[in-house]
């Protein structure tokens, strides 16, 4: 569609309890800057992204303690985060209703995936620009999968053929995504694609990159910092 714009929406209202840190993980330092800084920079510096909305918890006090000035040229802060990811994303979508058109693209990306690159974004934007539904970055499952049974023992091995690990960004038209999240409710979907699936649509899988890691546990932070350091040296 002509004149369709691309917006990024970064839900950053979580506490990151699995990191074992009092500081929300999006603010944990990586190479001397908050993790969220690296995430925002990728979108702010990409020429096809019109604006970046970062959705914070209403009581977030950490944002103002950091200097995001060199990564915030396109950033608008929305202090309307909810108790779940889905609620945070929906609240963000509702907050930008007056400035985003129904057919504009919204790219929802985890604040804790700081290794996203312009090359990954280029692939996603190119693959989905004319898609009727939208889709997401993902990678095929490589590991053997075991289904747990009683007493922590293996019940059976799951076939991995056709299974993919969902990543972000997940890219959908504004109005479709808002309608999907409204329909599923704040608790029901673990990602945006699942909400869109619940309306009977089939989001497109776009080949991602194994380096697009999500920081969930302390050891992930070490790996991500190594990847970011390597990227900065290129």
Question: What sign does the CA torsion over 137, 143, 149, 150 have?
Answer: negative
Residue 191 region, left (φ>0) first, then alpha (ψ -120 to 50), else beta?
Answer: beta
Q: What is the pLDDT of residues 139-180, one digit of tens each?
A: 999 999 999 999 999 999 999 999 999 999 999 999 999 999
pLDDT digits (tens, 9 = 90+) for 56-85: 999 999 999 998 887 778 999 999 999 999
Q: Cβ distance 52 to 75 under 8 Å?
A: yes
Give 81-99 as a 3 state SS string: CCCCHHHHHHHHHHHCCCC
Distance between CA 162 and CA 104 in Å, rounded?
30
Q: How far apart are CA 69 and CA 53, in angstroms?
A: 15
pLDDT exceeds cutoff 70 at 2: no
Cα–chain center distance at 108: 5
Q: Which two tokens stand for residue 173?
A: 């038209």
Task: Answer yes or no: is pLDDT of 46 > 70.
Answer: yes
Bridge partners (DSSP) of residue 108 are 9, 170
On whether the CB atoms of residues 176 and 103 are closer than 8 A, the answer is: no
**130, pLDDT greater than 60:** yes
Q: What is the dihedral sign for C-alpha 99, 104, 107, 108? A: positive
Residue % of the chain over a pLDDT of 90: 83
Q: In the chain, what are the domains?
A: 6-233 (3.90.550.10)
The terminus-to-terminus CA distance of the chain in angstroms comes to 36
pLDDT greater than 60 at residue 50:
yes
Identify the pLDDT of residue 17: 54
Q: Is the pLDDT of residue 1 over 80?
A: no
């Amino acid at each position: 569609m002509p004149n369709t714009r691309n917006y990024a929406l970064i839900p950053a209202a979580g506490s990151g309890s699995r990191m074992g840190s009092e500081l929300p993980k999006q603010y944990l330092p990586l190479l001397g800057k908050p993790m969220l800084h690296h995430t925002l920079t990728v979108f702010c510096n990409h020429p096809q992204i019109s604006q970046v909305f970062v959705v914070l918890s209403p009581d977030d006090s950490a944002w103002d303690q950091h200097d995001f000035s060199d990564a915030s040229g396109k950033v608008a802060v929305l202090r309307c985060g909810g108790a779940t990811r889905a609620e945070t994303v929906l609240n963000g979508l509702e907050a930008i209703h007056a400035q985003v058109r129904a057919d504009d693209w919204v790219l929802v990306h985890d604040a804790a995936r700081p290794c996203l690159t312009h090359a990954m974004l280029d692939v996603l934007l190119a693959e989905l620009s004319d898609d009727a539904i939208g889709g997401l970055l993902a990678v095929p499952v490589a590991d053997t999968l075991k289904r747990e049974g009683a007493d922590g023992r293996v019940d059976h091995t799951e076939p991995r053929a056709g299974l993919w690990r969902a990543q972000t960004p997940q890219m959908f038209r504004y109005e479709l995504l808002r309608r999907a999240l409204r329909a599923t409710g704040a608790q029901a979907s673990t990602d945006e694609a699942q909400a869109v699936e619940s309306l009977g649509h089939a989001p497109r899988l776009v080949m991602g990159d194994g380096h697009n890691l999500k920081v969930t546990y302390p050891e992930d932070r070490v790996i991500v910092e190594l990847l970011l350091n390597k990227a900065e040296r290129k």
